[in-house]
Amino acid sequence: FMYRGKEIFKPLNTGWIDERVCVVREWVANVFFYRKNGTTIMIDAGYNYERLAEKMAWLDIKASDIRNIFLTHLDTDHIGALEADSEGLFREAEIYLGEEENKYLTGELRRRVLYKLCKLPIVKLDNPKRLLHDREVIYIQDIKVEAILVPGHTYGHLVYLVDDAYLFTGDTIWFGADGGYSFLNSLAEDNALAKRSLVKLEELLLERKCNPLIVSGHTGWTDDREFAFRHKDKLCISGKKQKPHDPTAPYDGYDEREDTEEKARNMRLPKAWDCMHKNTEQ
C-alpha cells in the first residue's frame, strides 16, 4: 500500500525479452531465465510465489529443467522459491551466491532495511550451493557466467554478466523514466557504497567495450548503457515524494491482471522507456 500511486514499481510482465531471456512476474519482482542450446539457467528465485510453476509453463519451462540458479542477493523477494518453507520446486538445483552474501545465511551478518532500523530474519536454504568471488567465471554447458561484486544494497550483492551480452543486475539499478539510479535508499546497507559500486561497474563495461542488454530486478531492461548508468551518482529516494517516478508505471504494482498467458506467448517485452530521448525525438 505504501507504493500505490507512486509510479515507482514497474516490473516486467511474464514473457520473452528476446530469444534467450525470459521472465516470470511475481507481483513487483521478476525472475529471469536464460536459455541457450537446450540449457536453461535461472537468475534469482523471487518470492515464495504460488503461481511460479504456472507462469513458467506459459514459457514452456519446467522446474525440473532448472539445475543451476544464480542469486544476486538473499532478500526474500529474490530467494523465496528456495527457502525451506517453499513448495520445493527446485530442491535439486545448485545455487550460486557471493562469498560475502553467504554471511547472511550463517548469521555473521544480519540484513537490515528501512534505513537500517529493521533486522530481517535469517533465511534457510537447503540446496547445494557454490560460493563465488568477484570476477569469477564459470560455465554451465556452454553458457559463460561472470560474477561481479557490487556491494551496497547488500554487502555481498553480485551481478551476473552472461555470455558477455546480458547483465542481470538484481537490486543495483532502478530505472526511472529518465535513466538508471542507484536502488531504493531505504533498503540499502550502505547507499554511498552502492553508488560507488555502480560507478565501478560502468567503468568495467567501458574498459571492456562491453555493451550488454541490462536487466533490473524490478524495473525492466534496456540495451542503452548510457541510459542505464545516467544517474549512477543519485539514489532512488523512497518516501512521500518518490524520486524518480515513471508515468508509465502501474498505479498498483501488485495488480497482475495485465500479466496473461496470451501476452506471454505472443508479445515481446518492451524495454524501459527513456522520456528524455522521447521528448527530444518529438
Residue matched to cell numbers 534496456: 222
**pLDDT the model gives residue 27:** 94
Radius of gyration of the chain (CA): 17
H or E segment at 79? helix 76-79
Q: Domains in the chain, ordered, with CATH?
A: 15-281 (3.60.15.10)
**pLDDT the model gives residue 232:** 96
Is the bond preceding residue 244 a cis peptide, omega within 30 degrees?
yes
3-state class (DSSP) for residue 193:
helix
The answer to whether the beta carbons of residues 84 and 54 sit under 8 Å apart is: no
Q: Residue 137: what residue type? A: V
Task: Enumerate the β-bridge partners of residue 179.
Answer: 176
**How many CB atoms lie under 10 A from the CB of residue 122?**
13
d(CA 234, CA 271): 22
**pLDDT the model gives residue 5:** 81
Per-residue pLDDT of the chain (282 residues; tens, 9 = 90+): 777 887 788 999 999 999 999 999 999 999 999 999 999 999 999 999 999 999 999 999 999 999 999 999 999 999 999 998 899 999 999 999 999 999 999 999 999 998 888 999 888 999 999 999 999 999 999 999 999 999 999 999 999 999 999 999 999 999 989 999 999 999 999 999 999 999 999 999 999 999 999 999 999 999 999 999 999 999 998 876 667 878 888 888 889 999 999 999 999 999 997 665 554 443
**pLDDT the model gives residue 251:** 87
**pLDDT the model gives residue 136:** 98
The answer to whether the beta carbons of residues 132 and 138 sit under 8 Å apart is: yes
